[in-house]
Amino acid sequence: MQKKFFYDKSAFSLLDFCSIFIPFLLVLYSVNIFYPNITSLIPSYPIYKQILLHLVLSYFCILWFWLKLRHYTYRKTFWVELREIIYTLFLFCIIELSFIAFLKLTFSRTFFILMWSNIFLLFPLVRFIVKFVLIKNGKYRKKTIIIGANANALEAYQAIKSEFFLGLDVVYFLDVNTQSENVSNAYLKNLNIPILFPDRDNLFSLVDKDNAQFILALEDNQTDELDYWVKLLAKHHCRAISIVPSLKGLPLYNTDVSFIFSHEVMLLRVQNRLAKRSSRILKRAMDIFISLALIIVLSPFLLWLYYLVAKDGGKAIYAHKRVGMNKKVFGCLKFRTMVLNSDEVLRSLLKNDPEAKAEWEKDFKLKNDPRITKIGHFLRKTSLDELPQLFNVLKGDMSLVGPRPIVRQELIRYRDELDYYLMTRPGMTGLWQISGRNNIDYSTRVYYDAWYVRNWSIWNDITILFKTARVVFEKTGAY
């Protein structure tokens, strides 16, 4: 098993090495074939110096992935791994450029740009295609045992299931407190995954401890069990052990972990990146650049939608009052999707339909809303009704990514999380939209909004924007 582990790491590292070095040769070969008379694109003689430099840097780049980032040892989520790949490739691109300048090598800028453009494209593409194929064929899958059977264990399971590229298959839960399988477990009973019991089942006879992933997902009041299982797994020489502490409410992405020598004290250094002026400037700059570009590109399409909505004689765009950053009230722009007398229709519906009234009071939404027009159904289903909010983003009332914009009546429902909501601009999209949108309950929406602010980073914004495109295309949770 140790040999297999080493071979897997070696195979992935060799594949990554080829993804960095081969583009150099491919671009050189392509230039010589397609542009035989354009010598400016070809690295100057002697070429062996450029080949040797890129070869050495490719080797050290792989070492960085292996020893520093542990890409061949640890399994990481798709977006975390992609972020580290891009940062590392950018770092070594700058390093190579610096060496070229320092060694005074005559090197074509066009060739350099073509080479690194291919590396940035080829490297992550090959990495994730290979992982996808291997996972689909069961070659990169790892049996996973979650030790715990309550809320924290369920959340760990749901997190694992949401990340395909981890390649983790949960095969057992282990209930450390319950002695009998006859005891109903409200958290896990619908998952169809076997629940083991320590006093009855010999866990290590059921799994290969050298190749299994153990995840300790116990509750705050189970510290004794946590200590016991950490020692037991260490005693049996289990290699892959992860602990999922119950840390709801704490920032995770921007938190550094350290400890005090000889004491069982873990220090979490919490950072609020949205409190940094540089972070706010960067986020605002991205909002302005992307929203302006989209408005210019989509302007013919926006005018066409404007015409379709205004055909019934009403205004095509309306501004709904929403509460933004620091409780500033602004007009949230949308294409009108309702009939002209929508207020009267709503009042009549809530007066005569108790079920509709209860649904409205719960989430301020109606799944089968009689006020929506024919074109309105299309706009809502495709989320195109929200495109005018690009002007809100450009103006500064909203952001591309942020908490869900809410009305004043909803403020009370945020309770202890209200301060987080008011710390940043509401977004055209956010965690609520890529996590189910209207299919999730209100308390979960509030949780997602607070999580976003606590864990903000520019990379998280980019991740949410890409995931939004998929959600809109699939029409997930839209009505």
Residue 436 has pLDDT above 80, yes or no: no
Q: Residues 453-479, buried b or exposed e (16+ Cβ, 10 A)?
A: bbbbbebbbbbbbebbeebbeeeeebe
Question: What pLDDT is stored for residue 116 in this prediction?
Answer: 95
Question: What pLDDT is stored for residue 418 in this prediction?
Answer: 92
pLDDT digits (tens, 9 = 90+) for 248-265: 667 777 677 777 776 777
Q: Is residue 355 part of a domain?
A: no
Q: Is residue 260 part of a domain?
A: no
Whole-angstrom CA distances from 252 to 100, 245, 454 are 39, 11, 8
Question: What pLDDT is stored for residue 46 in this prediction?
Answer: 60
221: buried, middle or exposed (CB in 10 Å: 19+, 13-18, 0-12)? exposed
| Helix intervals (H) in 137-215 | 151-161, 203-206
CA distance 182 to 388: 56
pLDDT grade for 307, boundaries at 50, 70 and 90: very high
Query: What is the domain-level CATH number for residue 159?
Result: 3.40.50.720
pLDDT digits (tens, 9 = 90+) for 9-45: 888 999 999 999 999 988 887 766 655 554 454 555 4
For the ranges 44-58, 222-236, 277-291, the lowest mean pLDDT is seen at 44-58
Q: Is residue 350 part of a domain?
A: no
pLDDT grade for 151, boundaries at 50, 70 and 90: confident
Residue 124 has pLDDT above 80, yes or no: yes
Note if the pTM is more than 0.95: no
Residue 405 has pLDDT above 90, yes or no: yes
- Any idea what DSSP says for residue 384? G
State phi, psi for 127 to the nearest 5 degrees. -55, -50
Question: What pLDDT is stored for residue 33 in this prediction?
Answer: 61
Q: Is residue 266 part of a domain?
A: no
Q: Once rounded to an integer, what is the mean pLDDT over residues 398-418? A: 91
Q: Give the residue from 112, 136, 160 where a domain finishes.
A: 136
pLDDT digits (tens, 9 = 90+) for 155-214: 899 999 989 999 999 999 998 876 555 555 667 878 889 988 887 778 888 888 888 999
Does 341 or 403 have the greater pLDDT score? Answer: 403
CB 38 within 8 A of CB 31: yes
CA distance 4 to 1: 5
Query: What is the enclosing helix (H) or strand (E) of 295?
Result: helix 277-309
| Same-domain check for residues 20 and 73 | yes
| Same-domain check for residues 234 and 173 | yes
Q: Is residue 342 part of a domain?
A: no
Beta strands in 316-421 (DSSP E): 317-323, 329-335, 399-401
CA distance 124 to 82: 7
Question: What pLDDT is stored for residue 203 in this prediction?
Answer: 86
Question: What pLDDT is stored for residue 47 in this prediction?
Answer: 72
Token duo for residue 43? 């690295």
- Which residues are within 8 A (CB) of 334 and not within 5 positions of it... i.e. 6 or more apart? 317, 318, 320, 385, 386, 388, 389
Q: Once rounded to an integer, what is the mean pLDDT over residues 373-391? A: 89
Q: Once rounded to an integer, what is the mean pLDDT over residues 138-148? A: 92
Q: Is residue 42 part of a domain?
A: yes
pLDDT digits (tens, 9 = 90+) for 82-96: 999 999 999 999 999
| Same-domain check for residues 293 and 146 | no
Q: Is residue 420 part of a domain?
A: yes
User: What is the residue type of 382?
Assistant: T
Binning the chain into helix, strand and coil, the percentages to the nearest 5 are 55, 10, 30
CA distance 439 to 130: 33
| Same-domain check for residues 30 and 47 | yes
| Same-domain check for residues 151 and 189 | yes
Total number of domains in the chain: 3
Beta bridge mates, 143: 169
| Same-domain check for residues 296 and 331 | yes
Q: Give the residue from 136, 170, 200 where a domain finishes.
A: 136
CB 280 within 8 A of CB 262: no
| Same-domain check for residues 299 and 448 | yes
| Same-domain check for residues 159 and 129 | no
Question: What pLDDT is stored for residue 476 in this prediction?
Answer: 61
CB 119 within 8 A of CB 62: no
DSSP 2-22: HHHHHHHHHHHHHHHHHHHHH
Task: Name the residue range of residue 15's domain.
Answer: 2-136
Does 367 or 412 have the greater pLDDT score? Answer: 412
CA atoms within 13 A on the CB side of 198: 12
Q: Chain-wide mean pLDDT for the chain?
A: 85
Q: Give the residue from 136, 171, 190 where a domain finishes.
A: 136
| Same-domain check for residues 333 and 449 | yes
Q: Once rounded to an integer, what is the mean pLDDT over residues 65-81? A: 91
Closest to 96 measured CA to CA, from 141, 56, 144, 46: 56
Q: Is residue 367 part of a domain?
A: no
| Same-domain check for residues 151 and 120 | no
| Same-domain check for residues 316 and 401 | yes
| Same-domain check for residues 169 and 302 | no
pLDDT digits (tens, 9 = 90+) for 320-373: 999 999 999 999 999 998 877 777 777 777 777 787 788 777 767 777 777 888
